[in-house]
Amino acid sequence: MVKLLGPLTSAARALRVVALGLTVAGIGPLVASYAQALGRPTPAYLLTLGTLLLIKVPLVVALGRLGTGGVWAALASGELATAAVALLLLRRLRGNTPKAP
C-alpha cells in the first residue's frame, strides 16, 4: 500500500498558492492586446517579455532556493506583480487615447 498523504498535502498547498496568481493572470495579456489594438506594439512587447525577464524569472530564481513552496509563491507573486504593472500601463494608455466625438 502506497502512502500518498504527503504528495496530496503538498499538491493541495501548491494549488492554493497558484490559484491566487491565476485570478489575475489574464490581465497582462489583455492589456498587451489592448496596446496592440491601439497600434502601440512597444508597450505590449515590453509588458509581455519585460515582466517575464524582469519580474517572474528573478522571483523564481530567488524564491526557488526555499524549495518547491518558494517556486509556487514566486509564480503567484510574479502574476500579481505583472497584473500591477499591466494596470499601470493601462492607465497610461487610456490617458493618451484620443476620445471619440
Report the pLDDT value the prediction gives residue 3, as an integer from 0 to 100.
Answer: 58
Say what the alpha-carbon torsion angle 64, 68, 73, 74 is, to the nearest 10 degrees.
30
Query: Three-state DSSP class for 98?
Result: coil
Q: Which residues of the chain have pLDDT under 70?
A: 1-8, 97-101
83: Cβ–Cβ under 8 A, 6 or more apart, which residues?
24, 25, 27, 28
- The predicted pLDDT at position 4 comes to 54
Please tell me the predicted confidence (pLDDT) of residue 83: 96
Residue 16 confidence (pLDDT): 86
